[in-house]
Amino acid sequence: MTPITMKHLRYFDALARAGHFGRAAEHCAVTQPALSMQIKELEELVGAPLVERTARQIRLTGLGEAFAERARGILRAVDELGDLARMSQAPLMGRLRIGVIPTVAPYLLPALVGELARAYPGLDVRPREAVTRKLIEDLVEARLDAAIVALPTSEPFLVEMALLEEEFVLVRPAADARRPVPSAAKLREMRLLLLEEGHCFRDQALAFCNLSPLRAPRDLMEGSSLSTLVQMVGAGIGVTLVPETALCVETRSADVSLARLGEPRPTRTVGLVWRRSSPLADDLRELGDIARRVASDIRAEAIDLLLAGDRRAVD
């Protein structure tokens, strides 16, 4: 009897996730007929249908859902065996899949990847930018080795390593530089620019203003990135909050002013997380130490920028 192979499991896992033969084949970099043949062969080996085929999509049968869950566990275990083998060769060698949230990635990743390339030339860093929910999902399914997100995640299966704590800074039009800094209550009355739903930084900013995500003010405006928000502020459309590590990049070409908010100042903790079962734990702690130093340097530059802005406001 022909045994079930890893190819069968990987193709079926891709199909279960995509819900479509064409997209699954694209993900696996094979033709659709080749993937269909593997799925059909797997069903023959199992002795029962795993998917219900329709014109536009597929649905897993009851057996298919149970099979998919077991297949993912096997695939995760096999991937971790590969990680274990790599770890035995040398620290931080080979492929490293790391996810980063969008409010950290543009500011930390370039410097971090550059530092890793200098210190560990044998390391193949493969970064991915996505919102926290997607990164956690990819960590669970072993599609990522680690992720940089806002802490805490409150996920018991993850190890958390804090990298930095940073404040949120008020970004206003340049003409407002000498005006009093508004309180959280006053911000609720202003045209506040925030990231669109799905970003944890949006929820943190709303929490500081004591606003429910479901009861945001009518004047609240949304953008897809911090860069968009800062440029909108520069155009005089409103005000926004930005984490310290983003300041040097995002305010470089915008006609804006910066101000620290009053006490208690809003902050967030950014950290590295990975699966408790990961054999790369020692390597990831080393990665975290490097990321912590890089993030500290970036934040120090932001503080210098804020101090310079304070001096200009006084002058």
Mean pLDDT on 27-54? 90
Q: Is pLDDT at 299 greater than 70 in this prediction? A: yes
End of a domain among 59, 82, 105? 82
Residues 148 and 24 grouped into a single domain: no
Q: What is the pLDDT of residue 309?
A: 65
Q: What is the pLDDT of residue 272?
A: 98
Mean pLDDT on 214-231? 74
Distance CA 271, CA 185 (A): 29
End of a domain among 40, 58, 82? 82
Q: What is the pLDDT of residue 212?
A: 60
Residues 279 and 307 grouped into a single domain: no
Residues 208 and 310 grouped into a single domain: yes
- Per residue in 131-177, pLDDT (tens digit) is 999 999 899 888 899 999 999 998 999 999 999 999 999 999 999 98
**Residue range(s) defining the domain that contains residue 257:** 165-266+303-314
Count Cβ atoms below 10 Å from residue 72 Cβ, excluding itself.
18
Residues 31 and 176 grouped into a single domain: no
Give the tokens for residue 272: 């590295």
Q: Are strands 221-223 and 158-173 parallel, antiparallel or unpaired?
A: unpaired
The CATH number covering residue 199 comes to 3.40.190.10
Greater model confidence, 314 or 103: 103
Mean pLDDT on 55-73? 87
What proportion of the chain, given as a percentage, has pLDDT over 90?
A: 50
Q: Which stretches of 209-280 are DSSP H helices?
A: 226-234, 247-250
Taken as a whole, the chain contains a residue count of: 315
Q: Is pLDDT at 253 greater than 70 in this prediction? A: yes
Q: What is the pLDDT of residue 72?
A: 86
Q: Is pLDDT at 256 greater than 70 in this prediction? A: yes
Q: What is the pLDDT of residue 213?
A: 57
- Comparing 15-24, 67-76, 214-223, 248-257, which segment has the lowest mean pLDDT? 214-223
| Predicted TM-score (pTM) of this structure | 0.75
Q: What is the pLDDT of residue 95?
A: 86
Note whether residue 307 is domain-resident: yes
Note whether residue 1 is domain-resident: no
Q: Is pLDDT at 233 greater than 90 in this prediction? A: yes
Q: Say how many domains are in the chain.
A: 3
Q: What values do phi and psi take at 25, rounded to 5?
A: -65, -40
Cβ atoms of 251 and 272 within 8 Å: the answer is: no
End of a domain among 50, 82, 114? 82
Q: What is the pLDDT of residue 315?
A: 43
Rounded to the nearest integer, the mean pLDDT of the chain is: 87
Residues 37 and 113 grouped into a single domain: no
Name the band, by pLDDT with cuts 50, 70 and 90, for residue 312: very low
Instruction: Find the helix or strand (DSSP H, E) in which 100 lies.
Output: strand 94-100
Q: What is the pLDDT of residue 277?
A: 84
Q: Is pLDDT at 217 greater than 80 in this prediction? A: no
Residues 209 and 76 grouped into a single domain: no
Residues 170 and 150 grouped into a single domain: no
What proportion of the chain, given as a percentage, has pLDDT over 70?
A: 91
Q: Is pLDDT at 197 greater than 80 in this prediction? A: no
